[in-house]
Amino acid sequence: MAFGAVLSALLGDFAIRAAVLVVVVLSWLALTLALLASRNKLKAKVELHRGLLSRYCDVIWDGWPTRFRIIRWEQVAVIEENGDTEEIITVQAKVEGADARFFRLRFGAGWDQPESYRKNVTTEVRNLLVDGTSGTSWDVTSYWLDDGRLNMLSHFHTPAEVGSSVRVQMKWRWPGKSIPLMVRRQPDLFTFRFGNPVEYASYRVILPKGFDAHFDAVNLDRKKHDFTIKRKDSTGRLEVELKIRNMPIDVKIGMRLEIKK
């Protein structure tokens, strides 16, 4: 008598089908767990290599004589009601000291964000053409610093020569970046700090429709600094914008906003 017939006689057709189903499910689970383990191991290795690359680039950055004189820096933050924030930065800079192969920027949310938010941050860096349109994308390597900031290194396609001008557009979408302002209704900072000379910079914050805010300057003195802070709501969304010329070096400056209750 065949083995299947013996099983049928002992257990019945239903029991056989159930046993086969259990074997198939257990095999599928075992394969899935093996694939997940392999994927997680590969992901961890990729993150390790990316972090090492970024750290070695930091060493080069700190010791290389390349410097960027910022001619114009324009930053716009568009905030949603749940705190999600999309930012666009347009930069025009002049290369000084030595040819540039990449440049480094560091950004943070300003509060202790859970990893679940940070892992969904997306970034994009592109050339900005003379007519203002976006060019091709750049390679970007990044990793998270211990203080919660994103260390981002953007690599030129070819080295930018000393004396040449660089025009770049950066975009990122940062889930929950403005939760303290929008959800917790706490005063929130919108600041920047530069280690190189900056001739002109602006920071414009656009709130969700229907929201109003108090605002003031951070680390700025009208007797010492050439700046303005103005508001407008011509689009139906409140916009608060800081403009400053000849920014001080290595000083965090910007605005503090608080949603009106």
pLDDT tens for residues 172-188?
A: 999 999 999 999 999 99
The verdict on 12 and 97 lying in the same domain is no
Question: Same domain for 101 and 136?
Answer: yes
Same domain, 242 and 144: yes
If asked whether residues 114 and 209 sit together in one domain, one would say yes
* pTM of the full structure: 0.78
Q: Are residues 187 and 156 in the same domain?
A: yes
Cβ–Cβ < 8 Å for 90, 134: no
> Rounded to the nearest 10 degrees, what angle do helices 13-63 and 3-11 cross at?
110
Q: Answer yes or no: do 208 and 104 share one domain.
A: yes
Distances (CA, A) of 5 to 14, 22, 72: 13, 19, 83
Of 60, 77, 106, which marks where a domain is finished?
Answer: 60
Q: Are residues 35 and 106 in the same domain?
A: no
> What pLDDT, on the 0 to 100 scale, is given for residue 40?
66
* Structural domain harbouring 37: 3-60
Q: Of 91, 171, 162, which Cα lies nearest the Cα of 123?
A: 171
pLDDT tens for each residue of 43-85: 666 666 666 666 666 666 566 667 889 999 999 999 999 999 9
Whether 215 and 109 map to the same domain: the answer is yes
The CA distances from residue 183 to 50, 110, 111, 256, in Å, are 33, 15, 13, 16
Q: Last residue of a domain, which of 60, 75, 96?
A: 60
Q: Are residues 224 and 193 in the same domain?
A: yes
Co-location of 255 and 174 in the same domain: yes
Task: Give me the helices (H) in the chain, please.
Answer: 3-11, 13-63, 115-118, 179-182
One digit per residue, the tens of pLDDT, for the chain of length 261 reads 554 554 454 445 555 555 556 666 666 777 776 666 666 666 666 666 666 666 666 666 566 667 889 999 999 999 999 999 999 999 999 999 888 888 888 899 999 998 889 889 999 999 988 777 888 999 888 888 888 889 888 889 898 999 999 999 999 999 999 999 999 999 999 999 998 889 999 999 999 999 999 999 999 998 999 999 999 987 889 999 999 999 988 999 999 999 998
